Homo-oligomer: A and B are copies of this chain.
């Protein structure tokens, strides 16, 4: 099949299929026909001419036979099939149901890549702000951003929340996000929460001289999400956090393009671990948390870092980064990668080595658990970032009048 034709009018899906003895070429043909026109060889010729534009095509079949001595269970093939755009509407549920709806239940098969046609892509505006837009909002263009996460705030009241917010903000973080398990509740309802947190942000700004985005958790019934977002934005919210996988990619896609929702959206990976980690089933992390999040319009995307307790292998992390940052996606703006979990200041050199400068350094315990308090925690991270950008070894930089960084290094060490 001609590659140009393919890019224009066919979306592709790549599957890794494990089978000890399958004829993978036959399997690939079965997928290409079965998930599109249903049957082909028994169609009359006249009908074939009509149906050809609906027929799926096998793009490639790469069989990996186990080496001598390896178990037969390791036999797999990577199969790429092209699906005509004309078969499905231009939304993510239609694409996913077409390429992996029934097929997901057909033995050991994992969706490891998706390719979007120009036609399909054209229906998606992508991230409204994207990486560059978030930088513009904050006025920060020359360094990685720093984010901190509310520690558990269930059962806390508004004054307690405000205090926690202020302490984080005062340390010089660029973004603060809600805990993703903080839902609409009588103690800290969304509008009041936004009001007092934005107040605290303004107060901190007088000390730090910098701007701050607060991503408040957008939750509740699906068909009320737009109203809920409007409520938050009218109360002053300048960003939203969204548990995308609990609602489906299309909800994000529609929120991100809605004319009333003119603030960045941060995608949380909650529930992603039900989908990506298995070798044999599910959807690979670069598709789930990379390509699809960006396509659906996430301005920032959280995913498990390779450094902490909640671990994702480094190569999977870098594949997500690639999907968020590279130019594969036509007109789509890039999305900020936010590797999360287990981050402390001594990891900053490694994060910058792995991710480069276009990354959000994101910490929870690494801010709140700082021996000198949360504000010092923020400062320690900012110092670590400054030290790295200046090309200085962190220990030396800490010793030169950066006691917060020094305390962080004493507490958690350095990993390079």
Residues of chain A touching chain B, judged by Cβ–Cβ distance below 8 Å, are 34-39, 50-51, 53-54, 86-89, 91-94, 96-98, 100-106, 109, 111, 151-155, 180-181, 183-185, 219-223, 225-226, 243, 246-248, 250-251, 253-254, 268-275, 277-278, 280-283, 304, 309-310, 312
Contacts and interface: CB of A to CB of B under 8 A. Distances in A.
B104 A273 contact: yes
A281 B273 contact: yes
Contacts of A53: 155
Task: Please provide the 9 A-B residue pairs with the shortest distance between their CB atoms, ordered closest to farther.
Answer: A38-B152, A101-B270, A104-B273, A105-B273, A93-B246, A278-B278, A54-B155, A89-B183, A248-B248
A51 to B, nearest CB: 5
Nearest to A283: B274
Most buried by B among A98, A221, A274: A274
B54 A154 contact: yes
Given A155-B37, A155-B51, A250 B222 contact: yes
A253 B248 CA distance: 14
Contacts of A254: 221-223
A100 to B, nearest CB: 6
Contact of A102 (B97, B225, B253, B310): B310
A164 to B, nearest CB: 11
A346 B365 CA distance: 61
Nearest to A179: B38
B271 A278 contact: no
Contacts of A278: 278, 280-282
A312 B107 CA distance: 9
A304 to B, nearest CB: 5
B270 A275 contact: no
Contact of A271 (B36, B104, B154, B184): B104
A297 to B, nearest CB: 13
A100 B248 contact: no
User: Which of A92, A97, A98, A282 has the most CB atoms of chain B within a 10 A radius of its CB?
Assistant: A97
A275 B274 contact: yes
B102 A180 contact: yes
A17 B275 CA distance: 16
Contact of A93 (B101, B102, B219): B219
Given A88-B181, A155-B54, A100 B271 contact: yes
A156 B268 CA distance: 41
B155 A89 contact: no
Given A86-B185, A87-B183, A101-B268, 5 more contacts: A37-B155, A91-B220, A98-B181, A222-B251, A223-B223
B310 A87 contact: no
A252 to B, nearest CB: 9
B270 A97 contact: yes
Nearest to A155: B54
A161 to B, nearest CB: 13
Contacts of A280: 277-278
A87 B187 CA distance: 11
Contacts of A221: 91, 250, 253-254
Contacts of A185: 86-87, 89
30 contacts: A34-B152, A35-B181, A36-B154, A87-B154, A87-B155, A91-B219, A93-B243, A93-B246, A94-B183, A97-B181, A97-B243, A100-B271, A100-B273, A101-B180, A101-B271, A102-B180, A104-B270, A104-B271, A104-B274, A105-B269, A105-B310, A223-B226, A223-B254, A246-B248, A246-B250, A274-B281, A274-B282, A275-B275, A277-B280, A278-B281
